[in-house]
Amino acid sequence: MCPGKCSKGIGIALFPLATCAIVSNLLLYFPNGEVMEPNRITDLVWFFHGILGAGILVFLPAVMMLGAGGSKCCANRCGMLLSVLFAVLGAAGGVYCMIISSLGLVSGPLCDIGDEVYTYPFRNKTFVGDKTFGGPEKTGNACPDASVVSPDMEPAVLQVWNLQWV
């Protein structure tokens, strides 16, 4: 069996996954389905991790893998080399998307705490107290600052959403 047939199947599977990543990233620009000013949207969205990383950089190997599934695919060494190179590029895009998404989960959402003041109540602004960087043991940075969190905070389900990931 030619490896091109397998790569054709993988290429077909990558298209809906990349499309989901692009749509998911686009939805982050419209929190709660509302059009907001750019300074009210979380800063990590502007890295375009879903559009560029898991979207466009995954479409490239998907197209190449579909092309590799043609007749006499095994005899085309240049095509197979390009397929491998594009696969590495797609994997790098996926890793980029995972890193930015992880940072977004760690820092939490941008919230209106009242009087049009937007902040990240879950974000640890320094590495002081983080055992990873040689400091003393971490002291509860996963919970929001009590002086910042209020019942009026938008989005309303902030504490439940972020604390379930901690």
pLDDT of 129 strictly over 70: no
Of residues 57 and 120, more confidently modeled: 57
Q: What's the Cα-to-Cα distance from 60 to each of 11, 20, 53, 77, 116, rounded to whole Å?
A: 10, 15, 11, 18, 42
CB 155 within 8 Å of CB 109: yes
Q: Binning pLDDT at 50, 70 and 90, where does residue 48 land?
A: very high
Burial of 112 (0-12, 13-18, 19+ CB in 10 A): middle
State the pTM of this model. 0.73
Which residues are bridge partners to 154 per DSSP? 112
Q: Which residue has the tokens 């709660």?
A: 32
Of residues 51 and 128, more confidently modeled: 51
Mean pLDDT highest for which of 7-21, 23-37, 143-157?
7-21
pLDDT for position 143: 52
Question: What are the tens digits of pLDDT across the range 72-110?
Answer: 555 567 777 887 888 899 999 999 999 998 888 877 778
Average pLDDT rounded to a whole number, residues 64-69: 76
Please give the Cα distance from 107 to 122 (Å, whole number).
Answer: 6
pLDDT of 20 strictly over 90: yes
**Mean pLDDT for the chain overall:** 76
pLDDT for position 146: 54
pLDDT of 3 strictly over 80: no
